[in-house]
Amino acid sequence: MTATLTAASPPPRPGLIDLDQALAQLLAFAQPVVEEESLATFDADGRVLAQDVVSALQVPPQDNSSMDGYAVRCADVAAPGTLLRVTQRIPAGHQGVALQKGEAARIFTGAPMPVGADAVVMQEDTVLEAGQDPQRAKEVRIQAVPQQGQWIRRSGEDVACGTTVLQLGERLHPASLGLAASIGLSHLRVKRKPRVALFSTGDELVMPGDVAPEDMPPGAIYNSNRFFLRALLHRLGCEVSDLGIVPDRRDATIAALKSAADHHDLILTSGGVSVGEEDHVKPAVQSLGALHLWQIGMKPGKPFAYGWVEREAGDRAHFIGLPGNPVSSFVTFLLLVRPFVLQLQGVQHTQPVRMRMPANFDLPKADRRREFLRVRRNAQGGLDLFANQSSGVLTSAVWGDGLLDNPAGTTIQKGDLVSYLSFADLLL
């Protein structure tokens, strides 16, 4: 069973932009930065490759043993209990000599296979004669008949010479760094970090530490958005200039935008993008450049703006204005700002993986807008719904481990298959 569109559900409000349409338009403006730098592989976690990485060698470079045991010739072991002469000992990092008929080589994990050997018998399947010192044993009894190629890692089975192992536009992670190191790369060519200016608007905002909770004036709130937006930008590999809180005045907003535009690729704001008399961001951006997107058909997160601010040099700084409610700001960042910032860095694939999972709850009332509900996976393999889905309840984003993408006008019955986006992917 899947979530279904209800015939009685109200139509979407006119004038709202579809989320997918808004994202497509947004990404069309996100031209990747052109500057590159050479960065030590040790320091490249989270950065985006500026060129393909091609291996100049085989990994592993030679056939080697994947077990501690004995390298043998299968032709010499026709039956269990065969006794072979131990003629050499090959630790990792050392090369043995060719194996002759009736011989075995004591070998260790990672050691190159000697010429002539075509299998490794792990030491658990061997027996030394009573009293023999394993370090000086001259004979070994093979208790299991080996198969050709067993416990051998073949040259190039991980990476073949000439193979592209990491691609242009790939965002590096710890395993990527290990792979680059395995083919001998101490440095990588990466895109430079996007430069992002961040500020919040609102006379009601107070920074934690400036005013004690018991001394908060009526109507004041702590600025939570500033903390998670800054952290999200850092996770995406941005250089962030935190410009603090801008007063709810047109002149102050214009001055902040002008200052930020000259030194940054993107200006990101929180609050002030609705239609109230104290919402100054929209007209301020329009006075300095243009506003391209406005009011998206999603819940939470309808007040969203994209545009640009003209620089004195004649080019532009991108502008994105997020809603002020914390969950709205959080969700719109993940769904719109995240792919935009990734594309600025040249990332090829910016969309998260979606999974179909069963809902363990009912949602009998359909909404006009596409909803992104905060949910959490449970031990039964389904999704639980946070009770309060208000855009101001940030605890829902801490309790939840992902978002349920519910189409406009759709109700949900327990057991319906729904579309789930994991925070584990969205917060990378």
Answer whether 44's CB lies under 8 Å from 188's CB. yes
- pLDDT at site 10: 47
* Rounded Cα–Cα distance for residues 394 and 374 (Å): 10
What burial class does residue 28 get, using C-beta atoms within 10 Å of its C-beta: 0-12 exposed, 13-18 middle, 19+ buried?
exposed
- pLDDT at site 203: 80
Q: Each residue of 311-360: pLDDT tens digit?
A: 987 889 999 999 989 999 999 999 999 999 999 999 988 999 999 999 99
* Rounded Cα–Cα distance for residues 222 and 187 (Å): 43
Q: What angle do CA 100, 106, 112 make, to 5 degrees?
A: 80
- What is the residue extent of each domain of the chain? 1-34+193-428, 37-59+157-191, 64-153
What burial class does residue 323 get, using C-beta atoms within 10 Å of its C-beta: 0-12 exposed, 13-18 middle, 19+ buried?
buried
Please tell me the CATH code under which domain 37-59+157-191 is placed.
Answer: 3.90.105.10
* Rounded Cα–Cα distance for residues 221 and 53 (Å): 49
Q: Each residue of 359-405: pLDDT tens digit?
A: 999 999 999 999 999 999 999 999 999 999 999 999 999 999 999 99
Under DSSP, is residue 104 helix (H, G, I), strand (E, B) or coil?
strand
Architecture of the structural domain at 64-153? Beta Complex (2.170)
- pLDDT at site 8: 42
Q: Calculate the CA 338 to chain-centre distance.
A: 10
DSSP secondary structure, 371-403, as one string: EEEEEEE-TTSSEEE-S---TT-THHHHH-SEE
DSSP secondary structure, 289-302, as one string: EEEEEE-BSEES--
3-state SS of 37-48? EEEEHHHCCCCE
Of the candidate CATH numbers 2.30.290.10, 1.10.3720.10, 3.40.980.10, 3.90.1150.10, the domain formed by 1-34+193-428 belongs to 3.40.980.10
- pLDDT at site 137: 72
Answer whether 13's CB lies under 8 Å from 298's CB. no
Residues in the chain with pLDDT < 50? 7-10, 12
